[in-house]
Amino acid sequence: MSPALPGAAGPALHAEAEDGALIAYRRASAAAPSDGVAALPPVLFVHGFGADGAITWQGTGWVEALTRAGREVVTVDLRGHGDSDAPLEPAAYRAEVQGADLAAVLDSIGAGRADVVGYSLGSRIAAALARREPSRVRRIVIGGAGPQELFASWDLVRARQLLLDAEAERAGAGPDASAGTPEDAVMRAVLGTALRSGADPEALLACVEGVAGAPLELPPGLPAMLVAGALDPVPRGAAELAREWGAEYLEIPGRDHVSTLTSRTFKDAAIRFLG
């Protein structure tokens, strides 16, 4: 099937993962590519926890920006999110498994290589693709992620209880869950956002457990750019990691974990870096 109209992501298509799960993705064609840009591979966008491709990339203007720059775009819904299947076993969400999902999407569109842009959890999944099949990733942008994986610090029993509390409160059948420790506040914010996107609570918990501790590592020599909001604690250590890798680093002033995504500076830097 051909890509969607320029600047707009098309209907959901599905690639079959190695374990049989169906992984949803959407395509958008370049607006008016020049000869040089037309020769470049598609840009594969990988969203963060509790979101999907449309929320993260279409809704924040990324698809339009990249297609206007002459690039074909592919947005993916990670398993457990959006229109993709949502298994309930934590092992089904390991970063290596989800990295293979991205390879299946590239296979489905017939792309031998891609430039990859990840954000938050999506950065770790994008890195897993690069480790699995380094020849298929030309350049990579790591946004909103650093050396420390957020879920590794979570108490999973407590996370389950907070998720149940949030569901009950949303339904008007439970107590106000606003009290608790600072760690509770972080978990509640992350899980609450995910619930509002319509994700399956059990799939969310499986994803948290399966991804916990996933490394942020790339194969040697892969051109990379790391991007972090100055007010975002999640990618703490990203600047040091960029120096270790010999990668580019961009800090967005005044931006937190959510607002970094909408930054025009981020988009412009990614377009330049991806060529």
Residue 6 pLDDT > 70, yes or no?
A: no
Residue 1 above 50 pLDDT?
no
Q: How far is CA 139 from CA 27, 173, 271, in A?
A: 19, 48, 11
Residue 252: φ, ψ to 5°? -100, 110
Tell the CATH topology of 13-149+214-274. Rossmann fold (3.40.50)
> Which runs of consecutive H residues, i.e. helices, occur in 62-200?
62-68, 95-109, 121-132, 156-170, 182-196
3-state SS assignment for residue 117: strand
Burial class (CB in 10 A: 0-12, 13-18, 19+), 54: middle
Which are the contacts of 28, defined by CB distance < 8 A and separation ≥ 6? 3, 4, 5, 6, 7, 8, 9, 10, 63, 67, 72, 73, 74, 75
- Please state the pTM of the whole predicted model: 0.90
Q: Answer for the pair 26, 46: CB distance below 8 angstroms, yes or no.
A: no
Give the contacts of 194 (CB within 8 A, at least 6 positions apart): 49, 50, 51, 204
176: pLDDT strictly greater than 60: no
Q: Using a pLDDT cut of 90, give the percent of the chain over it.
A: 73
Per-residue pLDDT reduced to its tens digit, 178-232: 556 777 887 887 887 777 777 788 899 999 999 999 999 999 999 999 999 999 9
For 141-150, the pLDDT digits (tens) are 999 999 999 9
Say how far apart CA 75 and CA 53 lie, in whole Å: 5
Contact 225, 273 (CB under 8 A): yes
- What are residue 199's phi and psi, to 5 degrees? -70, 155
Q: 27-72, pLDDT tens digit by residue?
A: 999 987 666 666 899 999 999 998 999 999 999 999 999 999 999 9
For the chain, domain boundaries: 13-149+214-274, 153-202
Of 4 and 19, the structure prediction assigns the larger pLDDT to 19
* 98-121 per-residue burial string, b: 16 or more CB within 10 A, e: under 16: bbbbbbbbbebbeeebbbbbbbbb
Residue 123 contacts residue 143 (beta carbons within 8 Å): yes
